[in-house]
Every structure is written in C-alpha cells, then in structure tokens.
Structure 1
C-alpha cells in the first residue's frame, strides 16, 4: 500500500454522511460536528469557508474543498454573513439557539436546505447558471461528504494537510464530481456502499493531484515513495508489517547495501527504517484495537510482535498508554 491507500484502508468511508445542500442567500452555516475530514463540492453558486483564525477561502462552481477537523468552521455565501444554522456532532442541524431543523429542512433523498424550488436546478435560473433578470439570487448547491473515521493509520497524512485545501475546478479534470452528484440522490439497494466508494475515489483523486504540486509541501515520507530505492522499501513495510524485517533484509530486497539503504531512507523519510517500521506497526495496532472482537494477542501477531507483552511494552513506551487503555479511551470517545 502507498500513503494514499493507507489513508482510507481500514477506517475508510463506511456509512459516511453525504448530503446535497440547497441554500438561499444570504446563508451561513457553522460546522461544529467534530468530524476529522470533510469534502465539499460546489455545484452551483459561490461559497466561502471561514476558519476561526479569520482565514477565508473562496469556492466557485466546480471547486472542491477538503477540510481537516475537528476544529469548527463556517461555510457561507458571503464571508461577512453570520451563521443562521449550526451542524453539531452526529450531523444534527439546529438554529443558533439549539432548536433542531433536520425535519423542516428535509428536501428529499440526501437533500437538505431552504429552497425546494432549487432542488432540480431550475429555480430562479435563466438556463445559463445565473439568475434571470429581475429574479431573486439563485440558491447555492453543494455536495458534502463527511468522514466519521478516527483511525490512527491516516494521522500521518491528515497532519500533512492544511485545515482547508481548495482544488479549483479549472485546475484539474475528473468525472467523479459529476458522478457523485448523480448518485447522491438515488435511493437504490446498496447505494450507501456506492456512495462511500465514490467519496473515497474522489478524495484520493483530489489529494493525489494536490500532493503532486510543489506548493503542497508534501511530507518527506510521502515524497520518498517515488524514490527507486526507498519507495520499494516503504511498500514492503506497508504491505507486510508482521514480517520480521531487518535493514539487511530490506536492502537485499531493494538491491542496495545496508549502509546505502539506511542513509537514503533516513535522508528522505526523516528517520531510520526500523524506527519508521515501529511507528507504522503501532499505528496499525492502534487502529486494529478499535475492532471489538480483536484481542491484544491477535493484534500483536498481525503487526509483527511476538507476544501481547511485547506489543504492550512498545505501545506504552511510544504512546504513553497501554493497548487496553487506548481501547477504552477510543470506545468512550466513540
């Protein structure tokens, strides 16, 4: 697996919250759902994403934003408009006083907002995507996909993202946004799985395009995957963490000397191969411990530790808590 695969492997989208919103200007929504990651596709109209530190990013039709949580933020038609709606944990929508709005703003299959006439895209439009002369401002339409995952595997990649990443619609090309727009309003058997996978694919496509840009500042371990020596070594570690790897073994598999691999790996990734492997194994273990049927012994075997004691010792040394304490804390948080 590569870095993007590990983002969504394991705690990938499973029943992700997907919604099409249709909102009439002036509109403003405060997002305080504590979600770790949200993707927003602007279908019609403009929007601004404003974070609590005062920064604002503009979204035009066709643009996609990836927002890293759990910090709250505001999505509005105008950055100066104060929020009228709050999205709380569990994707519960309320007014600013806490009164629930979910039922009264329900507009059909995975569609929500305050403009029933704008659901089909015809309300107030002259057919060219802008309001007709004398007509009120056209409602904004956006599709959002919210991940509920708390997986430790993806933490390395998520920490490399800015809080708000905007991919302009005219800077890349993909059929996925249009396909997601078609599928989100369908109510077919298995539709939830279809939408989960489409969301995953769209997120991967956006991040792959983003990290290919020099200004993205991709982390060293991500960029190292394209190296002809370190890239294969990383994939070996990712694909089989339970193997009793040594630097000599990795060097033999990649066709270089131990010294050469050690130097190149450390220079490009920022830590030696075995230190990286330890971090990767413990990240995997932290995620696997969320599974209710997994025992510490079974997790230890899957990530390359010979006994539950060995895993517990390494887990506590690096993370400061035992595997059992980690499991209890994550269960309580969920």
Structure 2
C-alpha cells in the first residue's frame, strides 16, 4: 500500500457515517469537539463555516468540499448573524441524524442542501502525514478541477437519496474512498507550492520511494545506507533530505511505523505476539514487547485487551447519521 492509504488504515477505528441535510434559512449549528474527522459538501445553496479558535469564517458554495481532520468544534450557518444551536452527540460520540427542513419558509428564504458525515479515527496516535494537516481543508468547486472527486460526490449523493439494493455496503465504501480523494486532492495541490513538510515529501520522488519501501516491508532490517542506495543517493544526502521533509530521521520513522503497524495488528487480529513481532522486524517476543511498552506505555497484551473493549463499544454505537 502507499503511504496515504496506510496512514488512513492505521488510524481508522470504525465505520464512517453520512447523510443528506436540508436546511431552510435562517439556521445555525454549533458542533462540539469530537474524535475523528468531519466533512461537509454543499449540493445546493450556500452557508458559512465558522472554524474554531477565532479563525476567519469560510463561505461555502455549491460543489465546495470541506474536511475538518481534527474536529475541535465548529459552526455552520446560513449567515454570520444567525444564532447557533448546539448539536448534542449520541452516547457513542456520533452526530445525531439531522432533521431535513423541506417545508416552505418565508418568501426568499434560501434552502441549503449538504452531504455531511464523519470518520472515526484514532487521534491519540495520528500519522504525521495527517497530523500536519490544517484544521480546515477547503476545496472550492472549479470547472475541471478534481473530476474524480466530483464524480464520487455524485455517486454518494445518489446512494443516499435513492436507497437501492446494496446501498448499505456501497455507502461505507464510497465514504472511505471520499476521504482518500479529498486528501489526495489537497496534497496534490499543496505539493505544487510546498518546500517542506509532508506535502513536499509526497511530491518528492526520493522520499516517496523510501517511504514506500518502509511501508511495504517494515520487517526488513533497513539501514540508512540501504534506503539511500534504493533511491540513488548517498547515505548522508538521503538522510538529510528525508529528515528535512518528513520531520524525523529515516530509522526513527521506521521504528514509529513498525510500532504503529504492531498496534493495528494487535487491535484488529488474533495473531500471536511472536507473529506480530516477526511482521514488525523483531527477532524475539521479548525485544518486541520491550520496544512496544516503551512506545505505548502498555504491554502488547494489555493494549490488545483495551483495543478490543473499545472496538466493542464503538461497534455498538454505530447507529447515528450526521
């Protein structure tokens, strides 16, 4: 898998959810902070996004896509003057189903139709690629821009509007793809102007090649010299370039990714510790357990127990739509 796909897979903790929302002006909603990431796509009308921490408001028009990778709380409203009503999350930390307002309103009142949803992500250990994102990713609609993303939005909207055979399976798959398409579009645009950070790293063929090697074979006994040779650079030149763009030295990132992979294997599979250790580059269970506890402050067994308990609670809470 590529780095972006791996980053999402490592952080995902539950099924995404979404729904159509129709609002008749005046309307205003204040969303509380919550784990995961939220998104909104304007299909009709317009509205204002009110980001957290006194950031300037963002006007959203038809076709605009906005993603909030770290939901620190925000507002949505038809006007900057409209009072916001607090949205109360469900017991599982999900957005409740939003009431669709399709009745006639005052003359000239604007109706805003949005596709809204959320992704459950483990923000306790975010991949640095996602941790580097701004609080708000805004992709304005422009003719000829991101045609794949636009087609995906149409497919998702059609499934939610007209439920048919297979919709229950199609919607989560489309939502997972939507997140990747949004992030792909953002990083491709950012790579054109970025000179450092993950946007620049993903646009750099040398660093991208090294990341691909690490992600494809985390158990391999990589050295900085070997990674540099695979990318056509000397040890020193490769180490400087990788560290400058990724934000940590090659072997430090390798260790981080090994431990992230180990955490996912413990959380999602029944593989014995010996197998998890081997898949992440450790020759013995003892060495693996020591490295894992140093990284997570928990033994692998205790981490697996806690992860299973959280998974059961998350699964039982997947009942709401946003």
TM-score tier (shorter): 0.7 to 0.9
Residue 48 (1) aligns with residue 21 (2): no
Give the helix-richer structure, 1 or 2. Answer: 2
CA contact (8 A) 2:196 2:245 kept: no
Paired with 1:225 and 1:326, the residues of 2 have a C-alpha distance of 31
Shift of 1:281: 0.8
CA gap 1:193/1:259 in 2 versus in 1, 3 angstroms:
same
- TM, length-normalised to structure 1: 0.78
CA gap 1:299/1:222 in 2 versus in 1, 3 angstroms:
farther
CA contact (8 A) 1:45 1:60 kept: yes
Match of residue 199 from structure 1: 175
Residue 263 (1) aligns with residue 263 (2): no
CA contact (8 A) 1:151 1:287 kept: no
Matches within 5 A, 1:202-241: 202-214=178-190, 220-241=197-218
Paired with 2:28 and 2:274, the residues of 1 have a C-alpha distance of 49
Match of residue 101 from structure 2: 115
Instruction: Output the aligned Cα RMSD.
Output: 3.0
Q: Secondary structure at the match of 2:137?
A: strand
Work out which of the two has the higher radius of gyration on C-alpha atoms and give 1 or 2: 1
Paired with 2:13 and 2:163, the residues of 1 have a C-alpha distance of 18
Matches within 5 A, 1:17-32: 17-32=17-32
Match of residue 184 from structure 1: 160
Paired with 1:216 and 1:228, the residues of 2 have a C-alpha distance of 16
Between Structure 1 and Structure 2, how many residues are aligned? 303
CA gap 1:263/1:58 in 2 versus in 1, 3 angstroms:
same
Match of residue 321 from structure 1: 298
Match of residue 150 from structure 1: 122
CA gap 1:330/1:58 in 2 versus in 1, 3 angstroms:
farther
Shift of 1:159: 1.1
Match of residue 84 from structure 1: 85
Paired with 2:295 and 2:248, the residues of 1 have a C-alpha distance of 15
Paired with 2:278 and 2:124, the residues of 1 have a C-alpha distance of 18
- TM, length-normalised to structure 2: 0.81
Paired with 1:170 and 1:33, the residues of 2 have a C-alpha distance of 30
Among candidates 269, 275, 295, match of residue 252 of structure 2: 275
